[in-house]
Amino acid sequence: MDTFGFTASPALHAEYPLLGKRLSVRTNSAAILQATERHFGHWCDLPVEACSDEHLRLDVIEMPSDRQHSATYRPQFVHRMNGRTLLAAADDTLMTAQLDHGYAIAFVSKALVANASWFDKHILDTLGLAVATQHEREPIHAGAVVRDGHAILLAGKSKAGKSTLCYACAQSGFDLLAEDVIYIQRQPDLRVWGNASHIHLLPDAPHFFAELAGLPATLQPSGKVKLATPIPNRQHFAERASLCLIERHEGAGSTIEPLATDEAQRCLFDGVDEGFDLYPNAREAARHMLACSPAWRLRVGRDISSAVQVLKSL
């Protein structure tokens, strides 16, 4: 057995313009290449003129293993970061990203590859986004929908209903840009990116959206049980964006009011979640975006369709 992976030949290759940056993926496994195509393949629709010249590399090596894993194998990863080096491990999976060099590599087991949601989240997204977000792609905790080329960023506290509102907007003709994270590019021009795959809703979502009846709830890599709903239409980026701070209220309808730039900035970054604090330029990127467009406070009532109509009016 090649314990260290010296003889593994990553002869299989594909390239995806992830967040507009050219990510070259190499692997020794046809199953990994198929998984990568399933997860990143939609980026191939990105127009060539929207791509930067920056080239990034991700190697994913499938290693033989003597360990026996169940069909629901869900390893728990430990992440560490020192300077510009990211390390992570779980059981017989090891990975690292050298951020200054735009390079990442993972050694994975066949059992992990077989668990699509775990592999996509912990390997492809963790490493691919780690190298793609190191220059002019600053992550901000917000969902986003797009209408007529204009992105509306939906930010708010946990359980404010961002994902539910994203889904309701998508069902009403908006395109989805992001469910949970957007990426701000300032140079050469403002651009807001998203990497949408699904919208994850609470198990009681069929009470509000009848079309979701029968969709099974599954354990997500976040540790939460959610309905992973398909996306009708998605966008990769928008060149105009407004911010809506989402709050719940007890009335039936929804209301909106202007939000000062300083207040919007404070709401975005007060109590920022773990991981988002690794990007020191995110605050300046958000300030740049807010200086170019208005911000709003949207109070969402019990009738979610009223909030959708308010957003359409923007």
Q: What is the pLDDT of residues 147-185, one digit of tens each?
A: 999 999 999 887 778 899 999 999 999 999 999 899 999
Could you list the beta-strand ranges (E) of 19-100: 21-27, 55-62, 78-82, 85-90, 93-98
d(CA 65, CA 113): 13
Given a cut of 60, is residue 1 above it in pLDDT? no
For residues 282 and 290, give the distance between their C-alpha atoms in angstroms, rounded to a whole number: 12
- Give mean pLDDT, residues 40-45: 94
The pLDDT of residue 197? 80
Half-sphere exposure of residue 204, counting CA atoms within 13 Å on the CB side?
1
Nearest of 196, 264, 181, 202 to residue 234 by alpha carbon: 196
Quick one: pLDDT band at residue 6, thresholds 50, 70, 90?
A: low
User: How much is the CA Rg of the chain, to the nearest whole Å?
Assistant: 20
Classify residue 221 by its DSSP letter. Answer: T
Q: What is the pLDDT of residues 99-117, one digit of tens each?
A: 999 999 999 999 999 998 8
Are 190 and 288 in contact by the 8 Å Cβ rule? The answer is yes
Q: How far apart are the first and last CA of the chain?
A: 61
Mean pLDDT over 8-21 rounds to 92
Give the phi and the psi of residue 68 in degrees, each rounded to 5: -105, 130
Domains of the chain: 12-132 (no CATH), 138-196+231-313 (3.90.228.20)
Q: Pairing state of beta strands 199-201 and 191-194?
A: unpaired
User: Number of C-alpha atoms within 13 angstroms, CB side, residue 305?
Assistant: 4
Task: Provide the percentage of residues in the chain whose pLDDT is more than 70.
Answer: 94
CB 140 within 8 A of CB 195: no
d(CA 270, CA 273) in angstroms, rounded, equals: 9
Bridge partners, 189 (sequence order): none
pLDDT classification of 16: cutoffs 50, 70, 90: very high
Structural contact between residues 63 and 110, judged by C-beta atoms closer than 8 angstroms:
no
**pLDDT tens digits, 196-234:** 888 989 888 888 888 888 888 887 777 788 888 888 789
Mean pLDDT of 31-52: 93
Rounded CA gap, 283 and 166, in Å? 24
